[in-house]
Chain A
Amino acid sequence: MGSLTDKYCIVGVGETPHMRPSNRTTLSMACEAVSKAVADAGLKLSDIDGMTSYQIGDSTTSPHVATALGMRLNYAVDILGGGSSGEALVAHAIGLIEAGYCKTMVIFRAMNGRSGRRMGGQTPGGPIPVAVAEGDGQFNMGWGWTTPAQRFGMSAMRYLRDTGCTTRAFAEIAVAHRYHASLNPKAIHRSPITIEDHQRSRWIVKPFRLLDCCQETDVSVAIVVTSRERAFDLRHPPVFIMGGYARTLTDSPQWNYSRDEIHYVAGNYGWKRAFGMAGISHKDVDFISCYDAFTFTTLIQLEANGFCGKGEAGEFVKGGRLRIDRELPSNLSGGHLSEGYTHGVQMVIENVRQLRHRADDACPGWAEGRHTYDRKAGCRQLRKADICCGMGWGWENMASCLILRGIAA
């Protein structure tokens, strides 16, 4: 086990509703999410002395949020990044608290991911006019190859050819995550879908269909991290941070196809360290979360993090294996595909709620941890939710991971 394993905990989570559009500023949403996460922990805003966030030039910053909420911080830094950054900022928090720079930290992400800047560079009025392609852009923008769907679609097409996997494996992921969203009152898309619905949906970027792509939303999310000594006094049972890796890169990170093997994505470099730090093996994991910007990104993360062998993910997910009450439930809130799009943090939030046994579902007693486990009645709490492996993805070449446990494990 790592020297800091179980020494730090996630004690508070909070979010704004997924909206399209929010008609709010990222500052307003961030203040709400931060306040909710701090209240969820049973803390006051004045108990928080560190704040971090990540963004891609599309959000407010920690100093602005602190000012708006009347907080005086000992540490405030905002980093540049998208997916895989939330898990990495948890690692930052551990280091900062351990080193004595602050005591209790809040991490947030706020984005008008639908009505503001979208990941493909579009704005509400259409694409941003681009006159010049600079730097790395010189070698992709001129051919119109810019959006995440196009980028990951290129990897996915090659993956299908190399492994013999078909897009029905993509459908398995869309169907499982949508089923979980059907049990989540907060999700944007709650109607269950079938494999055939996926196969019939229109092309976005071949090999991706509409039902392979995530739901861009306007949202803010926040989590509170502190040391175990402080965690025991708070409102909920603590969720312990067992291990992880933080924005691990592949070689040749700026040009993801000029490598020995394109399917060897960043997670491959990290998972042994994460599981070694946590002191567990894959069979100890009760459930997972995967960055599902696209169905394919979930598929490849299962391989990259050692849940199955190379090229085996298509077989692995067959027959609803990722569904609740099956072998390895994945993205229990519905994920980016069906709940909404938060650049990864919502998965951490859902994992924390599951590990506390307090999934905010249709069960009247969920807040006290009383669940029916009746899926037809809208319960989405796992019966056994002791250890979770959360996998974050930036690109093929960047990944994070966070292994968490509840008090029962």
Chain B
Amino acid sequence: MSGEVETTRKPVPAADELTRPFWDAARAGRLVIQRCSACGYYNHPPRNFCDACLARELAFTPVSGRGAVFSFTVMHQRDVAGFENDAPFINIVVEIAEQPMLMMVANLPIGERERVRIGAPVEVCFEDRGDGVAIPQFRII
């Protein structure tokens, strides 16, 4: 497992009619999450019906971008398309501050390997993936 291997391009999110506002906001450097107009519950990933009350009126709403590491893994295999030369790399699931168990997947730089722990406070930043695509990432604060 040494040396560079031929790498594929990192996957590009294909925004659809449900998710487009999320990706549009990310491109503009803002984190938005669907919030239920009826009961106030936050829903992520985007969906058609509120998880808490099944109402249909869900509005993308800016959130603080703060949260905490809910769990993490360190991937050592060069098995993931687009990430062949990133290994080892860290994945985290962030619990967004606005609501318990409101989860979002992200990465941390591998340099944070010694610092990453469950409960570590994080805040959002954005990674430019080119071609007008940006994805939310998080950093330890």
Contact surface of A with B, Cβ cutoff 8 Å: 120-122, 126-147, 149-150, 153-155, 157-158, 161, 202-207, 252, 255, 257-260
Contacts and interface: CB of A to CB of B under 8 A. Distances in A.
B13 A157 contact: no
Nearest to B89: A144
Contacts of B77: 120, 147, 149, 204-205
B56 interface: no
11 contacts: A120-B77, A126-B5, A127-B80, A138-B16, A142-B13, A147-B75, A149-B77, A150-B73, A153-B73, A154-B72, A257-B71
Interface core residue of A129, A135, A205 (most chain B CB under 10 Å): A205
Interface residues of B, number: 45
B15 interface: yes
A126 B11 contact: no
B80 A146 contact: yes
B83 A144 contact: yes
A203 B19 CA distance: 35
A130 B8 contact: yes
Given A130-B81, A154-B91, A138 B76 contact: no
Given A143-B107, A154-B91, A205-B74, 15 more contacts: A126-B5, A126-B6, A128-B81, A132-B13, A133-B14, A136-B45, A138-B45, A140-B105, A142-B135, A145-B73, A150-B80, A150-B91, A158-B118, A207-B73, A255-B103
B9 A131 contact: yes
Contacts of B101: 257-260
A214 to B, nearest CB: 14
A154 B74 CA distance: 9
A143 B93 CA distance: 11
Contacts of A142: 10-13, 129, 135
B125 interface: no
Nearest to B102: A258
A121 B81 contact: yes
B52 to A, nearest CB: 11
Contacts of A259: 101
A128 B73 CA distance: 22
Contacts of A131: 9, 11-12
B118 A144 contact: no
Q: Report, nearest first, the 7 A-B pairs whose CB atoms are least far apart.
A: A144-B83, A127-B81, A158-B71, A206-B74, A133-B11, A153-B73, A257-B103
Interface in B60-98: 70-77, 79-84, 86, 88-89, 91, 93
A166 to B, nearest CB: 15
A129 B13 contact: no
B106 interface: yes
Contact of B82 (A135, A144, A157, A158): A144
